[in-house]
Amino acid sequence: MAGITSTGKPAARPGRLAGVRSVRATLHELDEERLVRLVARGDRAAFEELYRRTSPWLAVRLRRRCGDEQIVAEVMQETYLAVWRAAGAFAGAAVGGTATGWLWTIAARRLVDAFRRRAHHAEPPPAAAPPDAAPAAEEEALASTVGGDVGDALRCLAPELRQVLQAMVLDGLSVRETAVLLGLPEGTVKTRARRARSAMRRALA
């Protein structure tokens, strides 16, 4: 009988398959901001494409700050759940933001929360791997977020200064959140932030 496979299940209609492939191809062509806009409308296919595209670098970036795979997995899950629920709150290019920057800010705050929970209930999580043990996901994110002379000046900062400025300026974290995220005293974060801004001013003068 037409339309029935040898297993007895209805055969997929060629037109429907073509439509699915067309949707996937279209989503593949969209940038992350437009995918987030679709997610805000409840588009699960757009969410899956956003996850497929961003989860690898997000996981690498989290692992650079935390060596506990359980925490990383929990933060990943919480981050994408938050993205699904709060995609409508993404302001995007209208306020100079990017979808990847917004997503990382959510993840960074979830990681801070996870560190705080762990500090209350158990020993601190293992330290992150050395910087050269994983791809420079932060450099890639930085390159896509800040360009021109400002981006060049930021990339020329000493790593310990750049990571503080990234957390506070690009990720929008407070001094306390940055201290928790990087495992530093708040006074050290403030000192490094001042040094970083001073170096940036000299570089851009």
Least confident of 28-32, 65-69, 116-120: 116-120
What is the C-alpha to C-alpha distance for residues 4 and 99, in angstroms, rounded to an integer?
44
Helices within 10-136 (DSSP H only): 14-29, 32-40, 44-63, 69-86, 99-121
Contacts 24+ apart (CB under 8 A), 120-124: 124/183
- The 8-class DSSP code of residue 156 comes to T
- What average pLDDT does the segment 22-44 reach? 84
Express each pLDDT in 138-155 by its tens digit: 444 444 444 455 566 777
What is the C-alpha to C-alpha distance for residues 43 and 22, in angstroms, rounded to an integer?
15
191, exposed or middle or buried, with CB in 10 Å at 0-12, 13-18, 19+? middle
Express each pLDDT in 114-131 by its tens digit: 988 877 655 555 554 444
Reference 62, options 123, 106, 31, 102; nearest CA is 106
Least confident of 55-64, 74-83, 103-112, 166-175: 166-175
Check: CB of residue 24 under 8 Å from CB of residue 18.
no
Please give the C-alpha separations between residue 88 and each of 55, 83, 84, in angstroms, as whole numbers. 20, 9, 9
